[in-house]
A and B are shown apart, each in its own frame.
Chain A
Amino acid sequence: MVHIPDGILPASVCVGGYAVTGLATWYSLRQISRQKDPTQDIPKAALMTAAFFVASSVSIPIPPASVHFILNGLMGTVLGYYTFPAMLVGLFFQAVMIGHGGLTTLGVNAAMMGIPALLAYHFFRSRYRLFNHPNARWAISVFGFLAGAIGLGLAAGIFYVLVVITIPSGFDLATERAAITGLTLAHLPLMIIEGVFTAMLMLFLWRVKPDLLERRG
């Protein structure tokens, strides 16, 4: 799945994307300001944003091709309410530095990646309410897998809804449906791979630096 570049979406969708992103950012900043010392986590969120930006550029060979992980589910579980501002900053740098995404579509892309990341964060936290042993190895594996898969799956879902509603009107309906179905099905293995990778990463983080997953838990 890709970030949407400039020029593809109509202005109304771009403005709508900025409105949703503005609202989500406002909500996130409000939650952050309620913390005991809101400044404490700013450098952490910023450096983790840079780390996620760099980590998502790592090409992982899954023969016959190679994939780049989006890691938005993991970003949500690690950064909590800093996820949305971090996503906005990370996507801004991706747009201006490597031309991945764009300034007019920054709002849409941030909403597309950030809202699933926030949902993944809440989902990962829900294990504290559901189980007596939320930090058991299996719980972190299962919830880590689902957080990674949900992050990618929801972002892909939003992407295809946007493509369908903004697609040129002259498209043949059957071709359009076949293409959308094909692309959606193509994402199922990617969701599984992203989920497995996220679960592996979470188990590693839990073993080596549990603070990263526990602090906001």
Chain B
Amino acid sequence: MRMTFDQYAHLTSPIHRWEPRLKLVGIAALIFAFAAVSDLRMLMPMLGVTGLLFGLSRLPGAFLLNRLRYPGYFLLGIVLVLPFLSGQTVIWQWGWLTVRQEGVLAMALVACRFLCIMTLTIVLLGTTPFLTTIKAMRSLGLPATLTDMTLLTYRYLYDIAEMLATMQQAMRLRGFRSRSQSKRFRRKDLQQFATLTGTLLIRSYEQSERVYKAMRLRGYNAQKPNLDTTQTGRVMIWDRFGLAASLSTAIGFVVLNLFLTLTPA
């Protein structure tokens, strides 16, 4: 099974070659530094650093746009009210509809932060096979229980989604009305969905019992290391340089943002 993020994980680029653990720390530091940006003058440098990293990753633009589409619409739905409701300085008015400067600036700040953080998340996860990312997290201290749960959830997510699709198809074949056909709420429909969800949970539970027995027979024990975290890659001088550059940039962003926030424009 391949996650959609793994689609371009085997390209060749400086970001793809960056040692996974150092890449995880470096890009995560930048992501949190960008989350701390609150001054509008920091937006252009933030977009610049993001654009540089995305360019270096050689990931296709269509891949980025595809990943940004759904959360982007969602964010727009939240921040689009800001220009109309937030602030006092009216910059445009048409009848009762007023656009306020402070709201527009707040929307720009939130939208840019979202764009940069999401793009860096895609660069981080899109340039490393998912299993390698989990190994890197484990070697950086993620507890064994969480690591095993993440790997097993990842392994069975699509199987369970397929199981649900089959069950829903069986319901339709047995005459259950599709969503578009239902005009009014019926308690019986809710009961049918509860039964569907309950059956899905029971089937997953029963499958997990078989999975556990199979794992025990193969020597599974969460207290002992099951995941070889030594295979995440050799650390080269360029990897260290990349980490140093990203950490310095992240610290620079936090310090400069603090300075600009305390200094009047």
In the assembled complex, the CB of B232 is this many whole angstroms from the nearest CB of chain A, namely 19
- B contacts, CB < 8 Å to A: 3-5, 28, 31-32, 35-36, 38, 67-68, 70-71, 74-75, 78-79, 82, 85-88, 100, 102-103, 106, 110-118, 121, 125, 143, 145-146, 148-154, 156-157, 159-161, 164, 179, 182-185, 189-191, 193-202, 204-205, 207-209, 211-212, 215, 220-223
Of B3, B35, B215, which contacts A43 at CB under 8 A?
Answer: B215
B154 adjacent to A44 (CB under 8 Å): no
Residues of chain B lying within 8 A (CB to CB) of residue A2: 74
When chains A and B are docked, how far (Å) is the Cα of A99 from the Cα of B145?
25
Which of A119-127, A150-158, A199-207 lies at the interface with chain B? Answer: A199-207
When chains A and B are docked, how far (Å) is the Cα of A103 from the Cα of B121?
8
A96 adjacent to B125 (CB under 8 Å): yes
Residue of A nearest to B27 (CB): A103
Residue of A nearest to B77 (CB): A2
- Ordered by A's residue number, 15 sampled pairs between the chains whose C-beta atoms are within 8 Å are A2-B74, A25-B143, A25-B146, A46-B152, A55-B201, A58-B197, A60-B193, A61-B182, A97-B4, A99-B71, A100-B70, A168-B86, A171-B86, A197-B190, A208-B199
Number of A residues with CB within 8 Å of any CB on chain B: 73
Of A40, A60, A69, A102, which contacts B121 at CB under 8 A?
Answer: A102
B198 adjacent to A89 (CB under 8 Å): no
Given A5-B75, A6-B121, A50-B204, A42-B149 contact (CB < 8 Å): yes
Q: Is the interface of B mostly helix, strand, loop or mixed?
A: helix
When chains A and B are docked, how far (Å) is the Cα of A88 from the Cα of B137?
14
Residues of chain A lying within 8 A (CB to CB) of residue B157: 50, 53-54, 93
Minimum-distance CB pairs A-B, first 7: A7-B114, A99-B71, A46-B152, A11-B36, A7-B113, A200-B194, A51-B204
Residue of B nearest to A53 (CB): B157
